[in-house]
Amino acid sequence: MDMTNNQRFVFSVLLICFSLKWDVSGGVDSISVNQPLSGDQTIVSAGGFFELGFFKPGNSSNYYLGMWYKKVSEQTVVWVANRDKPISDRFSSLLRFSYGNLVLYDESQIPTWSTNLNTTNISSSIEAVLLDEGNLVLRDLSNDFLWQSFDNPTHAWLPGMKIGFNKRTKEKKRLTSWKNIEDPAPGLFSLELDPDGTDQYVMVWNESEIFWHSGIWSGKMYSSVPEMAYFINNDMYNASFISNENEQSFIYFVKDPNFISRFILDASGQVRQMYWLENTSKSWFQIWSTPRQPCEIYAYCGAFGSCSEQTQSFCGCVPGFKPNSEHNWNLLHDHSGGCVRETQLQCENNSLANGESDRFLANHDITLPEHPQSVAVRNITGCKTICLNDCSCTAYAYEDSACSIWNWNLMNLQQLAKVNLIAEGGDILSLLDKRLESNADVEEISRMLKVACWCIQDDENHRPSMAQVVQMLEGIVDVTQPPVPRCALFQNLAPQISVASCNFATT
């Protein structure tokens, strides 16, 4: 299962092809006070590793100032200056020095991006140099770095770059995802040092929900990223965690400068490490990624979207809802906009009232969203009534005499695999939709559920390969009784959840 998911993800990463014609102006690696940059001009680091100039992501009509690998034939951007302020005409835009800062002026000569230094001390010898590490630095005659792009990371963690926390300035350096493959504006996901002060790294959704922990650093790997040990043991990388009175950060280096590898937080919320196969396929090869399953990414399918490892696209909308943007959802694989109601709720628009009132649709195989509000009522009718009488209430669940309601957007819904009872040898049919009861092939269903159960084993080593899964599903290989996976979790999540919706099929 892992394999297909990864391939699909690699594919979406490969879609990040940037159309750009460049025109190297004689191997210049710097921008000086008298030499600004515009149009198709670029600067290239001294050893020819990185290039900086204007680029256009995918089919977007916007241009950005960015940095990419000079030696990689597939345009692969690692840093973007004007992330959320694109320019439309790169020929009338200008990157130049202004009062000691490097400033990007758009086609209307309005500053859209700047190095933002406090410039009390303007030196005319100041210059911006692109270094072979992929670091754009501002320096003057003193050779000190007054500013560096390594201190202002975007979505890529390059070798030699520190991500962490500066204890003196209280600044945190973190990676933030792109919004989608055509928009480098800061997206919803970030990778940063644990805000609780531990030495772990965490992945965060919308600066609020932590959905992944790296585990502790052993000196060779983070406990949730055992793959790292392989590369460090094989002397391809060295890495260290730095913790002193100034900072708490992690840094790594690649031993062979010709080995082009990149560590990115991609727009979908997955971290991946990839390396460039120059001598064979001339493409990026993924070494590892995390979280391994898309549905482990918080709110992967956005508001009112439900994530399922069992479907090709992973994301669907709950019944009665449709993707907020079909273009983003289908073409850009950007699900962050989530789903919206196909039909307005009656309580939102009184003029719709023609004897109809809002009703609930029960969803049995979906996890309950986080952050419920508990309401003290005696029975399910009371729970339902509370929700129905409040137009901001979108769902309720009643279980063990406890009523929970949710207001506004429902986030991070997961379509459940119907596996919890099978692993305990329980009754299969009781889990199925009533319509299937009469003609379901119990043997086949049991097989499917057991395979599903194998595929969600907590221990990676227990999960079968895709080829094994196919053989199991086709009945070529016998499926043994799987160990109980996160079933304790599933049982808590099993009660029915109801989503307020008009116009649902009344079967």
- Which residues would be at the binding site for ligand NAG (CB under 6 A)? 58-59, 118, 120-121, 123, 140, 142, 206, 238, 240, 253, 258-259, 278-279, 331-332, 349, 351-352, 377-379, 381-382
When the beta carbons of 265 and 377 are compared against ligand NAG, the nearer one is 377
| CB of residue 467 to ligand NAG, shortest distance in Å | 28
| CB of residue 126 to ligand NAG, shortest distance in Å | 9
What whole-number distance in Å separates Cα of residue 492 and Cα of residue 483?
Answer: 19
Tell how many helices (H) and how many strands (E) occur in the chain: 7, 34
When the beta carbons of 301 and 472 are compared against ligand NAG, the nearer one is 301
| CB of residue 465 to ligand NAG, shortest distance in Å | 27
Backbone angles phi, psi at 471, to 5 degrees: -65, -40
| CB of residue 379 to ligand NAG, shortest distance in Å | 4
What whole-number distance in Å separates Cα of residue 156 and Cα of residue 162?
Answer: 11
| CB of residue 474 to ligand NAG, shortest distance in Å | 34
At a CB cut-off of 8 Å and minimum separation 6, what does 47 contact?
A: 132, 257
When the beta carbons of 287 and 331 are compared against ligand NAG, the nearer one is 331
What whole-number distance in Å separates Cα of residue 223 and Cα of residue 366?
Answer: 30
CB contact at 8 A, 486 and 458: yes
At a CB cut-off of 8 Å and minimum separation 6, what does 281 contact?
A: none
When the beta carbons of 24 and 345 are compared against ligand NAG, the nearer one is 345
* DSSP H stretches of helix in 351-441: 380-388
What whole-number distance in Å separates Cα of residue 507 and Cα of residue 501?
Answer: 15
| CB of residue 419 to ligand NAG, shortest distance in Å | 30
**DSSP letter for each residue of 196-238:** TSSS-EEEEETTTEEEEE---B-SS-BTT-THHHHHHHTTSEE
Closest CA relative to residue 400, chosen from 368, 432, 359, 361: 368
When the beta carbons of 370 and 458 are compared against ligand NAG, the nearer one is 370
| CB of residue 90 to ligand NAG, shortest distance in Å | 20
* DSSP character at residue 159: T
- Residue 206's CB is within 10 A of a number of other CB atoms, namely 13
Backbone angles phi, psi at 409, to 5 degrees: -70, 135
What whole-number distance in Å separates Cα of residue 94 and Cα of residue 104?
Answer: 6
| CB of residue 78 to ligand NAG, shortest distance in Å | 19
Q: Do the bridges between strand 339-341 and strand 171-173 make them parallel or antiparallel, or are there none, so unpaired?
A: unpaired
When the beta carbons of 91 and 253 are compared against ligand NAG, the nearer one is 253
Going through 278-363 in order, the beta strands assigned E by DSSP cover 283-290, 305-307, 315-317, 321-323, 339-341, 359-363
* DSSP character at residue 330: I
What whole-number distance in Å separates Cα of residue 393 and Cα of residue 134?
Answer: 49
When the beta carbons of 226 and 382 are compared against ligand NAG, the nearer one is 382
CB contact at 8 A, 423 and 453: yes
| CB of residue 352 to ligand NAG, shortest distance in Å | 5
* Residues paired with residue 247 on neighbouring β-strands, in sequence order: 166
When the beta carbons of 349 and 438 are compared against ligand NAG, the nearer one is 349
* Residues paired with residue 399 on neighbouring β-strands, in sequence order: 402
When the beta carbons of 192 and 365 are compared against ligand NAG, the nearer one is 192
When the beta carbons of 1 and 405 are compared against ligand NAG, the nearer one is 405
When the beta carbons of 201 and 205 are compared against ligand NAG, the nearer one is 205
When the beta carbons of 120 and 438 are compared against ligand NAG, the nearer one is 120
| CB of residue 13 to ligand NAG, shortest distance in Å | 13
| CB of residue 377 to ligand NAG, shortest distance in Å | 6
| CB of residue 11 to ligand NAG, shortest distance in Å | 12
Going through 386-445 in order, the beta strands assigned E by DSSP cover 393-399, 402-407, 413-414
When the beta carbons of 50 and 147 are compared against ligand NAG, the nearer one is 147
CB contact at 8 A, 31 and 127: yes
What whole-number distance in Å separates Cα of residue 46 and Cα of residue 51?
Answer: 10
| CB of residue 170 to ligand NAG, shortest distance in Å | 12
Sign of the dihedral defined by the CA atoms of residues 57, 61, 66, 71, in that order:
positive
